[in-house]
Each structure stands twice: as C-alpha cells, then as structure tokens.
C-alpha cells in the first residue's frame, strides 16, 4: 500500500484513506523521527491497521514507531465492539503486557556511589536473566500457575512477596479482570512454569537510575521525585508464556477469519470479532498473560528491594507499574457518543488524565496530576517520567520507549560488546551479567534519540514530561 504523509503540525502527520482504509492514519512524530520508508514498513503497517473491521477515529502511531509484527510497534487503534469490531493478537504483540515499573529510594546518588559494588553484585546474584535461566519463584504446578494467571501481583503480595502499596501503584491495581487460565495452552503453561521472576533477554533490563533533572516541580513532588534521587526501573513482560499465547491465537484466528468474512492486507493482522468465541478466548488468555507479567515484575522488584534493604538500609517504594502491550476494553467518546471500544496498544502505553477513576487513590484527587507514564531510553541513555494530560489524543495513549533504529543484527555488527561495556563503565554505569553479544545488540546507537521522542510526545500533547533519569547501574540478560 502506497503511503503519502501530510504534515498537519510539526508533531502530527496524516495518512489519508486509500485502498480499503476505513479511517485515516495519524503519526505523532517530528520529521527526524519518521521511519525511513526504504527499510522500515511501519507507516505501511499504520495504513494496514486502518483497514480492520470496526476501527474508529484513526490508526495511530507514536513518536517511537517502527516496524513490528502486523501492527507497528508504537501503534494504537480502537475497534467498536458493538459494531463488528475485532481484536487482533498482532495488535498486542508476542510479549503480552511487557511493561515498566519504577521504584523510588530515599537515597542520593553520592551515597549510592559508596555502595555501588555491593548493590550491583547483589542484584546480579538475585535477578535471573537470559534464556532458560529459571525464575525467582518456581511454581509448584498448574494449579499454582493458574492462581498467578488469575491474581497477578495480588497473588504474589498475598504470598508475602511485596506490600499493599505495590498494588495501589500498579495498573489495574495488580491484576487484569476476566483472565481465563483455561484458554492458556499446556505448551504456554509449561513455558511459564519456571520463569516467574526473570528478565529474559533482548531489551529487557533492571536499571539503577538517578534523577538527573526535574522538569515539572509540582508533578515531581506529587510523584515523590527529586534531583539526584536513586530509582530502580524494571522492564520485562510475560516471557515464553505470553509469546506462546500470541502464537497460538494468531494461528487460530487466521483459520476462522473466512467464517466471519474478514479479509486483511497482511496475514499478521489475523483477527476475529471481539464478541466471537475466538475473540473472547483470546482476551481471556491475554489477560492471564498480563497477570503473569505483573507478577513477574513484582517478584523482580521484591528481589531488588531486599538487596537495597540489605546493602543500603533503605527500601524501594513503587512509583508505578504500566504495561505497553495490551488490548483493553474501554469506553471513549467517538463522534459525540460513548462507545465500548477494544483499544489495542502495541509498544504504546496508557496516559490517563487527571481525576481518572483508574488512577491510584492517592493521586486521583490531586488536581492536575495524571497517571505516571514511564518511558525508558536505551542502555546508556536517559529515561523519562511523564504525566497523563487532560484531553490527550489516541484514546489517552503515548509512546513506550526510544524505539529501535537498527535491527539487533545491525547493532551487533556496529560495535563489540567488550568495547561497549568499557564505554558504559567510563560513563559511570556499572554493568552486570550481560553477554558481549547481548550488550552489542542493545547499544544506544540502535535506538532513536530519547530526548527527541519525549519532545515529540510533549509537542503532540500526548503527555507532560516530569523528570529525566540517567542510568548508574544496569543488569541485563
């Protein structure tokens, strides 16, 4: 499908409907962040998503958009459930409920420098990472796994792995409703049995960070952030369990599309009506995987908390936990009326406005304070905390990270892992547990400029920047 961009504002571009598109495409980005059409088909994918049955308003792309499976990574679209709207596993992705959580610590950067060795060594010992390394919590069998799939972080906290605040400050208060473990295949279950509390590999990480700059004093105070404060950020998802669920349902939906008279321009957009048996089964399995991902981050956070308490005498308090690969049933106003929508966010995160009922209780009633938005950069560069804003576009969504500019293969050819490690350590970043190849694949040059991404997100009105954080220690697979 040929894609022609029309610039509406410096941070908003439009793709007019052609070739079966039911709605326009809208890309929130600056010119320098737009994908290179010669080697990145993300904008074609934006147009393809606009052909889905029941799609409303627009097919959206965030500032970090890049080529993905079916949907672009950094893609958002909503379908009208009561008007034939579909759900597409490709619109969620393989790492279901991959997300970010951020802890704050009452510890200054200067004090952390005195204990960086013991803290990073302790984290390296307790944080499983890489492929096939096991997890913090080995489950006893399918019954206990199903309890995790239903209860998420709540189940972990009930078993002593955390505190009540961890639930108040987690999206969906720790667990997605309507999870249906019976829709999780035995193969998916086996892949999740020994991985609970593990980072995995790729761009997943645990970073110790320092607040480098406060960009909005009032919001930073509401979030408990101050300059030079130490924080811990964790980025991971549902591991092999979520990957298998996506694989299972892509195949299943591809088989049933003819029965619903659905045709898509790319088989990776395989889908079924939200109200169909296949659609409901996928949503139940997806919610179960989301709860696994919440529990996964909860277990990793609790392991990090114990290391900090032992080595620094300080605890970690959860600021927020947010997912960026989900389809959620939400109510939004479209064409002047409230509609029930299935909102796909793939490599995109919610950015709820001030006063929204899904906000944590202690933030909900603070005027002008929206949902904490966590946007990690690449290894060796800054990450950001933002806040949701009133009237944010794209169904109150924003970007999820810097966005890849090079494939992992291209990145690995551009730098040697040992050289990158030396460079990071020369910048004052302690590195633990990463293979040379894994490091090279995640070199900062493989990603877009995070500062430019945040500038575009703010310029497009997606969210308001609150604080900039820089890494001082990283644990990777």
Map tokens 């399995």 to a residue.
285
Both structure tokens of 56 = 């409303």
Q: How far apart are CA 13 and CA 10, in angstroms?
A: 8
Secondary structure of residue 29 in the 3-state scheme: coil
Q: How far apart are CA 105 and CA 224, in angstroms?
A: 9
- Report whether 402 belongs to an annotated binding site: yes
- Report whether 279 belongs to an annotated binding site: no
Q: Are 452 and 404 in contact (CB under 8 A)?
A: no
Closest CA to 369 of 172, 220, 166: 220
- Report whether 401 belongs to an annotated binding site: yes
Q: How far apart are CA 146 and CA 429, in angstroms?
A: 39
- Report whether 332 belongs to an annotated binding site: no
- Report whether 95 belongs to an annotated binding site: yes
Closest CA to 389 of 145, 262, 258, 216: 216
- Report whether 42 belongs to an annotated binding site: no
- Report whether 37 belongs to an annotated binding site: no
- Report whether 324 belongs to an annotated binding site: yes
Catalytic residue among 332, 344, 400, 409: 400
- Report whether 204 belongs to an annotated binding site: yes
Closest CA to 285 of 198, 152, 155, 178: 178
Q: Is 161 one of the annotated active-site residues of the chain? A: no
Q: How far apart are CA 312 and CA 306, in angstroms?
A: 10
- Report whether 448 belongs to an annotated binding site: no
Q: Are 69 and 268 in contact (CB under 8 A)?
A: yes
- Report whether 377 belongs to an annotated binding site: yes
- Report whether 112 belongs to an annotated binding site: no
Dihedral angle sign, alpha carbons of residues 102, 103, 108, 112: negative
- Report whether 400 belongs to an annotated binding site: yes
- Report whether 403 belongs to an annotated binding site: yes
Q: Are 25 and 58 in contact (CB under 8 A)?
A: yes
- Binding-site members for GMP are 203-207, 324-325, 376-379, 383, 400-403, 476
Q: Annotated binding site: which residue ranges?
A: 95, 203-207, 235, 324-325, 376-379, 383, 400-403, 476
Active site residues: 400
Point out the annotated binding site for Mn(2+).
95, 204, 235, 324
């Amino acid at each position: 499908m040929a894609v022609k961009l029309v610039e509406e504002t410096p941070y908003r571009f439009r793709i007019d409907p052609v070739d079966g598109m039911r709605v326009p495409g809208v890309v929130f980005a600056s010119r320098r962040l737009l994908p290179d059409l010669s080697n990145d088909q993300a904008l074609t994918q934006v147009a393809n998503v606009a052909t889905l049955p029941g799609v409303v308003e627009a097919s959206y792309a965030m500032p970090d958009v890049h080529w993905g499976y079916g949907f672009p990574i950094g893609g958002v679209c909503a379908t009208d459930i009561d008007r034939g709207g579909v759900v597409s596993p490709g619109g969620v992705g393989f790492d279901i409920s991959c997300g970010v959580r951020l802890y704050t610590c009452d510890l200054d950067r200067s004090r952390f420098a005195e204990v960086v060795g013991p803290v990073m060594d302790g984290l390296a010992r307790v944080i499983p990472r890489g492929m096939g390394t096991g997890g913090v919590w080995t489950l006893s069998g399918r019954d206990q796994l199903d309890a995790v799939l239903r209860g998420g972080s709540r189940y972990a906290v009930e078993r002593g792995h955390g505190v009540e605040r961890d639930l108040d400050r987690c999206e969906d208060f720790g667990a997605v409703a309507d999870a249906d473990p019976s829709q999780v295949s035995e193969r998916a279950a086996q892949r999740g049995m020994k991985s609970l509390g593990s980072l995995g590999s790729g761009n997943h990480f645990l970073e110790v960070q320092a607040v480098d700059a406060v960009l909005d004093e009032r919001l930073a105070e509401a979030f408990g952030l101050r300059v030079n404060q130490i924080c811990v950020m964790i980025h991971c998802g549902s591991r092999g369990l979520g990957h298998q669920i996506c694989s299972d349902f892509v195949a299943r939906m591809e088989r049933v599309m003819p029965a619903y008279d659905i045709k898509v321009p790319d088989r990776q957009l395989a889908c079924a009506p939200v109200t169909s048996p296949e659609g409901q089964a996928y949503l139940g399995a997806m919610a179960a995987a989301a709860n696994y991902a919440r529990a996964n981050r909860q277990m990793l956070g609790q392991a990090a908390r114990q290391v900090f308490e032992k080595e620094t005498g300080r605890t970690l308090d959860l600021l927020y936990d947010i997912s960026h690969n989900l389809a959620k049933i939400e109510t939004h106003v479209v064409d002047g009326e409230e509609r029930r929508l299935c909102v796909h966010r793939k490599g995109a995160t919610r950015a709820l406005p001030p006063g929204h009922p899904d906000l944590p209780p202690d933030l909900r009633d603070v005027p002008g304070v929206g949902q904490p938005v966590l946007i990690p950069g690449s290894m060796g560069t800054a990450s950001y905390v933002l806040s949701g804003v009133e009237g944010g576009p794209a169904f109150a969504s924003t970007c999820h990270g810097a966005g890849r500019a090079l494939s992992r293969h291209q990145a690995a050819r551009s730098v040697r892992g040992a050289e990158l490690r030396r460079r990071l350590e020369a910048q004052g970043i302690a590195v633990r547990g990463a293979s040379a190849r894994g490091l090279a694949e995640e070199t900062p040059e493989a990603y877009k400029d995070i500062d430019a991404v945040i500038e575009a997100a703010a310029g497009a009105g997606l969210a308001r920047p609150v604080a900039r954080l820089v890494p001082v220690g990283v644990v990777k697979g």
